[in-house]
Structure 1
Amino acid sequence: MTTSDRRLVLLRHGETEWARLGRHTGVTDVDLTVRGVAQARAAGPLLAALGLRDPLVLTSPRRRAHLTADLAGLSGDRRWDALAEWNYGDYEGRTTPEIREQIPDWTVWTHPCPGGETHETVASRADMVLSTCEAALPDRDVVLVGHGHFSRALIARWIELPVTEGRRVVLSPAGHTVLSYEHGFRTIVTHNVTPEKGIE
């Protein structure tokens, strides 16, 4: 087996009402919408088509993540606090336009979240997650079911960029990204594959 056969898959949870409205959702446990449930179910065949090797499935502790895993047919999952979404602190539940009324040009990637996680803390957490996953990859593929911003931070760190460069990629509800290697270098194989077609 070559390193290019080793895959780390990131799956974002399906749509929630807060996500639909653009509200930053870190520690708040919100339910999937009806559309989010349909998205999670539709993600299942896309993941099954990957033919993953005895996948180790790890999910965020938030219900929207482990429910997405269940609906997508990812069995035997374990919940891992390290996969929780970025902690937005005082900005929990607020939208970017609302925050920009006080702080023009604010984004989670370029500005602090008072009372929440710093970029450095998120980067350290992402690096720990990736190191742990890499240790498992020689034996089995790994699927991480989590959230938008933290998954994007993981992608940035996988390709050895600062965590703030997560701003360069998007990950849609129930979208997945496959990370692997080529010639010993960490690579992005496919990105933001979504089950949108046919979902009402």
Structure 2
Amino acid sequence: MEHELFLLRHGQTEWSANGRHTGRTDVPLTPAGENQARAAGLTLGTLRKGQALVVTSPRRRAVRTAELAGLVVDETTEDLAEWDYGDYEGITTADIRKTVPGWTVWSGPVPGGESAADVTARADKLLDRVRAALAETEVILVGHGHFGRVLVARWLGLPAQSGVHFGLDPAGVSVLGDERGEPKIEHLNIPPS
């Protein structure tokens, strides 16, 4: 692999600011989120070395983040969409725990949504495509918090549930690469500057 993979989480939305699980719901960026996206573009500009394939989730919060960051989107794909929270869409973890004590998306059931195995399969499919593209160009994936954390875990060969250990804040930039053939994290969750 000759090039690096950049992950950009979308900027702040009203739901991300108040901890509501936001998978399929297409909420817009807040004004603060728009500013974060612009700043993330500056951060990316200092890290990138050349041309890039830019792929986004189809959710407008991701597409708008890419646009405000100054990126030209080459493709949108559901493969990069956020974890499908099913019946927990729009609900906070604290509210879910009132009926399912100790629940987390990483270890608990997600009724009507995606399991960790489902998300793993989707992440692996996407990363197979990314690894092939990295032979030719840098790749920038613009997506979401939980799914981005799964991508980091799977990049390293860890189970999706290990994503719990990687924080990705709104408009945070992460860089994944390798060292002599071993996958590694170059940078994790650089805040927009």
1:23 to 13, 20, 24: 20
Cα pair 1:6 1:181 within 8 Å, conserved: no
What are the equivalent positions in structure 2 for 1:74-85 lying under 5 Å apart?
Answer: 74-85=71-82
TM normalised by structure 1 equals 0.94
Matched residues in 1 for 2:27 and 2:9: separation? 14
Whether 2:170 is the aligned partner of 1:194: answer no
Matched residues in 2 for 1:40 and 1:53: separation? 20
| 5+ residue gaps, structure 2 | none
Whether 2:145 is the aligned partner of 1:148: answer yes
| 5+ residue gaps, structure 1 | none
Whether 2:87 is the aligned partner of 1:90: answer yes
2:36 to 18, 35, 39: 39
The match for 1:53 is: 50
Cα displacement (A) at 1:55: 0.3
* 3-state DSSP of counterpart to 2:142: strand
Matched residues in 1 for 2:37 and 2:105: separation? 26
What are the equivalent positions in structure 2 for 1:94-173 lying under 5 Å apart?
Answer: 94-173=91-170
* 3-state DSSP of counterpart to 1:186: strand
Letter in structure 1 aligned against 2:190: V
Matched residues in 2 for 1:71 and 1:77: separation? 15
Structure 1 segments (4+ residues) deviating >4 Å:
none
Whether 2:155 is the aligned partner of 1:174: answer no
Letter in structure 2 aligned against 1:79: T
Cα pair 2:3 2:134 within 8 Å, conserved: yes
* 3-state DSSP of counterpart to 2:176: strand
Cα displacement (A) at 1:52: 3.3
Identity %: 53
* 3-state DSSP of counterpart to 2:47: coil
TM normalised by structure 2 equals 0.98
Cα pair 2:56 2:73 within 8 Å, conserved: no
Q: Give CA deviations for 1:85-143 in whole Å, capped at 9, x if unaligned.
A: 00000000000000000011100001110000011010000000100000000110000
Question: How many residue pairs align between the two structures?
Answer: 193
Letter in structure 1 aligned against 2:118: T
Cα displacement (A) at 1:30: 0.1
Letter in structure 1 aligned against 2:164: R
Letter in structure 2 aligned against 1:166: G
